[in-house]
Amino acid sequence: MSARLDVFAIPSASKVVKQFYSLGQLVVQSPLPATTRELVSLRTSQINGCAVCVDMHTKEATAAGESSVRLHLVAAWREATVFTEAERAALELAEQGTRIADGAGGVPDAVWRRAAEHYDEEQLMALVTLIAFMNTANRLNVMLEQPAGDYEPGRFA
């Protein structure tokens, strides 16, 4: 399988990708814990069916020392006992923010309150930005049919 477009070969697309990447770097540099970033990125990508992002974030999390048990249980985090309350709140916010069209009215106040119990305003903004970023990245990759499987950790470091 090959991508529908080579975005790096199209001058205007290459500029967009570079700017988009810069936004992602701002989230990486935020005070949001790296583990939380990878779990949220993985869960959002699972929901959206973005194989290239699932590949990337599974491998990045593994390289950072995340356990295979936790990575395998991200899709079923509600029933899993291996996540902290803060991680659970972030995963719930990620799901609600990703499935925003499914819940008339957007993200419920109770979901926001649970996240706000664990993250300060700067971290919350980073979390919201990450969720929006991942949803955009997932959609771009799915529409362009970006192939998955050959990602090497640290490629975008």
Rounding to the nearest 10 degrees, give the CA dihedral for residues 49, 53, 57, 60: 150
26-78 pLDDT, tens digit each: 999 999 999 999 999 999 999 999 999 999 999 999 999 999 999 999 999 99
Confidence class for position 103, pLDDT limits 50, 70, 90:
confident
Return the structure tokens found at 21: 């990447």
User: Is the distance from CB of 139 to CB of 48 less than 8 angstroms?
Assistant: yes
Domains of the chain with CATH codes = 34-144 (1.20.1290.10)
CA distance 151 to 154: 9
The label of the residue with tokens 């950072």 reads 64
Whether this prediction's pTM lies above 0.85 is answered by yes
What is the structure's pLDDT at 1? 72
